[in-house]
């Protein structure tokens, strides 16, 4: 209401509210029952969708086990389950028939969900087109073998397996990447013979990051960036840290995204082939005119398109509704 500048829609709102005297009060979400109910998907919409999409035989088979009037009993039980007696205490006004009808409807619904899940799993192989290449997955043995053969991870893996942290003199003899990996000593853990880094992000949930060997780095970068839609540096780094860890991961990802050819062509703001902008000079009226269309509203709140013609030299506008 105190907003100084209002657009056409907001002006109509203020005009509608002007005859009323009201005050705005905040209602917590737990007490805002009316708005909470309005935001729910109506039950009738889901029922009508099932009637259209699912075969009639399947719906009839599900309805055979339901007692007559069971759906009505469930709705009535949900509305009238809490009743207040004369003393003001809330009592549970549910009879045995209400409980039985609710349990029967719940069991029937769970069975139907299980049936649909089984049918979807059976039809899943038919949804994959023939000749379509699926993403390959590496087994735990392949992951362990790749870490054992990596010269930087091999020595750290042996130290973690023995449970003995390398001393300062031993760390000085290691390669630079192995020394950087030793700095994560308290976060390293071996599970099923594979070395992981346990990362505890701001959500305080432990996440296992696979310590990535050098031979898989190019494939991992292609997966989190190229196959993920060529997203920016921050999003690509976030996707990588959810799965992998290697020393200087942030630097490598930023360099990979920065040198991506597709990102360079799509996101460069000023390509070299663009003609530079220049000022336009005119020396006489009507030498150059500029045209544009402008949308406005008339007195009946209908949209009107207006052709605006402006003389570049005199800056004189001429308007004509179209």
Written as one string, the DSSP assignment of 162-190 is: HT----HHHHHTS-HHHHHHHTTGGGEEE
**pLDDT value at position 14?**
87
CATH, domain range 140-267: 1.10.340.70
In terms of phi and psi (left: phi > 0; alpha: psi -120 to 50; beta: otherwise), the region of 260 is beta
110-115 mean pLDDT: 70
The whole-number pLDDT of residue 230 equals 86
CA angle 171, 175, 180 (to 5 degrees): 65
Q: Rounded to 5 degrees, what are φ and ψ at 310?
A: -120, 130
Band the pLDDT of 88: cuts 50, 70, 90.
Answer: very low
Count CB atoms within 10 A of the CB of residue 298: 9
Split at pLDDT 50, 70, 90, the class of 85 is very low
**161 vs 109: which has the higher pLDDT:** 161
Q: How confident is the model at residue 24 (pLDDT cuts 50, 70, 90)?
A: confident
Q: Which residue has the higher pLDDT, 214 or 75?
A: 214
Top-ranked range on mean pLDDT: pick from 40-44, 273-277, 290-294: 290-294
Question: Has residue 87 got a pLDDT over 90?
Answer: no
Say if pTM beats, i.e. exceeds, 0.85. no
Average model confidence (pLDDT) across the chain: 78
User: What are the tens digits of pLDDT across the range 218-259?
Assistant: 999 988 998 888 888 898 998 888 888 988 899 999 999 988
What is the rounded average pLDDT of the residues 98-109? 70
Residue 309 pLDDT: 95
The answer to whether 298 and 321 have CB atoms below 8 angstroms apart is: no
């Amino acid at each position: 209401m105190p907003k100084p500048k209002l657009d056409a829609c907001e002006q109509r709102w203020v005009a509608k509210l002007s005859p009323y005297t009201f005050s705005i009060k905040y209602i917590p979400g737990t007490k805002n029952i009316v708005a909470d109910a309005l935001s729910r998907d109506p039950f009738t919409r889901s029922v009508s969708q099932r009637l259209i999409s699912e075969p009639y035989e399947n719906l009839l088979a599900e309805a055979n086990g339901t007692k007559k009037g069971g759906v009505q009993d469930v709705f009535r039980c949900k509305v009238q389950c809490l009743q207040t007696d004369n003393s003001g205490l809330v009592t549970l006004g549910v009879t045995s028939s209400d409980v039985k009808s609710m349990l029967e409807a719940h069991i029937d619904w769970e069975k139907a969900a299980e049936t649909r899940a089984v049918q979807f799993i059976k039809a899943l192989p038919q949804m994959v087109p023939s000749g379509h290449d699926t993403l390959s997955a590496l087994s735990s043995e392949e992951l362990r073998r790749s870490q054992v053969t990596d010269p930087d991870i091999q020595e750290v893996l042996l130290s973690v397996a023995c449970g003995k942290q390398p001393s300062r003199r031993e760390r000085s003899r290691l390669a630079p990447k192995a020394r950087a990996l030793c700095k994560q000593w308290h976060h390293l853990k071996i599970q099923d013979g594979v070395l992981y880094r346990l990362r505890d992000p701001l959500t305080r949930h432990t996440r296992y990051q696979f310590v990535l060997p050098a031979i898989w780095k190019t494939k991992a970068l292609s997966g989190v960036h190229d196959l993920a839609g060529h997203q920016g540096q921050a999003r690509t780094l976030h996707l990588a840290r959810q799965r992998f860890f290697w020393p200087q991961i942030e630097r490598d990802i930023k360099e990979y995204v920065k040198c991506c050819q597709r990102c360079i062509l799509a996101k460069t703001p000023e390509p070299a082939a663009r003609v530079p902008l220049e000022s336009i000079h005119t020396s006489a009226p009507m030498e150059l005119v500029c045209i544009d269309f402008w949308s406005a509203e008339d007195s009946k709140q209908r949209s009107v398109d207006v052709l605006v013609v402006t003389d570049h030299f005199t800056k004189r506008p001429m308007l004509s509704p179209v």
